Amino acid sequence: MDWETLYESCTACHRCQLSKTRTNVVFGVGRRDAEVVFIGEGPGQQEDLKGEPFVGRAGQLLDDMLAMIDLNRDNVFIANIVKCRPPGNRDPLPDEQAACTHWLDLQLGLLKPKIIVSLGRISAMYMIRSDFKISRDHGQWFSQNGVEMMALFHPAALLRDPRRRPETFVDLKSLQKKIREICTNTYN
């Protein structure tokens, strides 16, 4: 499947109840040959309205976090576990995740990233380990099928609890170091 076919199929999806209340499918943005992929849990209100991930306050913080390590939306890919907004910004339910992760898996198959960064617990539980504890395991590196993975606190969580920002900065610097070690086109 190519990017255009994947996009058209994803935006026409009605696999779960979230499709009934969405304004837009939030497919993802960034380089289609990105070596580094950031994955959140699901779109919020602003993302649903604009059809783009991380465009609200949490997105502004994510942009700042990327800038701290010389990245931006042009040299990474940003997506979510689910592509439609859960009502009231609640966590996506297991059946919603199961219906939607197919799209993310296809995106990752096209991207073939070297590094995946989960933003928050929900993403890390899908991408890294089902018993992932963000407060315990953030910033640690895991390797799966030749892909290096780590999790950061979700930017929305950092807005709610700024005391987590110093440890997130340490995690970001670890990410920057790993990118410089194994990636070839991220900073080009």
> Per the domain annotation, does 185 fall within a domain?
no
> Per the domain annotation, does 186 fall within a domain?
no
Helix axes of 3-11 and 94-111: crossing angle, nearest 10 degrees: 170
The span from the CA of 110 to the CA of 106, in Å, is 6
Query: Please, how many CA atoms are within 13 Å of residue 105, restricted to the half-sphere of its CB?
Result: 7
pLDDT of residue 143: 97
Please state the length of the chain.
188
Edge-to-edge strand order for the sheet containing 77-80?
29-30, 77-80, 36-40, 115-119, 147-152, 142-144
> Per the domain annotation, does 187 fall within a domain?
no
| Mean pLDDT (10-residue bins), the chain, 188 residues | 97 96 97 97 96 96 98 97 94 96 97 98 97 98 97 97 97 98 90
Please give the residue range of the domain that contains residue 124: 3-180
Counted domains in the chain: 1
> Per the domain annotation, does 119 fall within a domain?
yes
> Per the domain annotation, does 188 fall within a domain?
no
Question: Could you tell me the CA-to-CA distances from 160 to 34, 155, 156, 187 in Å, in that order?
Answer: 30, 9, 6, 31
The span from the CA of 73 to the CA of 179, in Å, is 15
Q: What CATH number corresponds to the domain at position 13? A: 3.40.470.10
Q: What is the DSSP letter of 73?
A: T
Question: 143 in helix, strand or coil?
Answer: strand
Element at 90 (helix H, strand E): none
